[in-house]
Amino acid sequence: MPGSILFPADMTIHLPSGTDWTIDPVPVAQAGLAILAILIVTAVVIRLAHVFVRGIAWALLSREHLEGTATELTALELKKRQDTIETLAVNVIRFFVVVIAGLMILEEAFRLDIGPAIAGLGIAGIAIGLGTQSLVRDYLNGALILIENQYAKGDVVRIAGVSGKVEDFTLRRTTLRDQDGTVHTVPNGEITVASNLTRVFARVNQDVQVVYGTDIERATTVVNGVGQALADDPEWSTRILEAPHVERVSALGDFGITLKILGTVRASEQWAVGGELRKQLLAAFHENDIEIPQPQRVFLAAAATGDAAGPATDAEE
Domains of the chain: 26-131 (1.10.287), 151-196 (2.30.30.60), 201-287 (3.30.70.100)
**List of residues 6+ apart from 231 with CB closer than 8 A:** 237, 240, 242, 243, 244
Looking at per-residue confidence, does 50 or 313 come out higher?
A: 50
| Cβ atoms within 10 Å, residue 266 | 15
Confidence bin at 153 (pLDDT 50/70/90): confident
Cβ neighbours around 305 below 10 Å, total: 7
Cα(186)–Cα(183) distance, integer angstroms: 10
Name the pLDDT band for 56 (thresholds 50, 70, 90).
confident
Distance between CA atoms of residues 294 and 209, nearest Å: 10
State yes or no: pLDDT of 168 exceeds 80. Answer: yes
For residue 315, give the 3-state DSSP assignment. strand
pLDDT of residue 86: 77
pLDDT digits (tens, 9 = 90+) for 238-280: 999 999 999 999 999 888 999 999 999 998 899 999 999 999 9
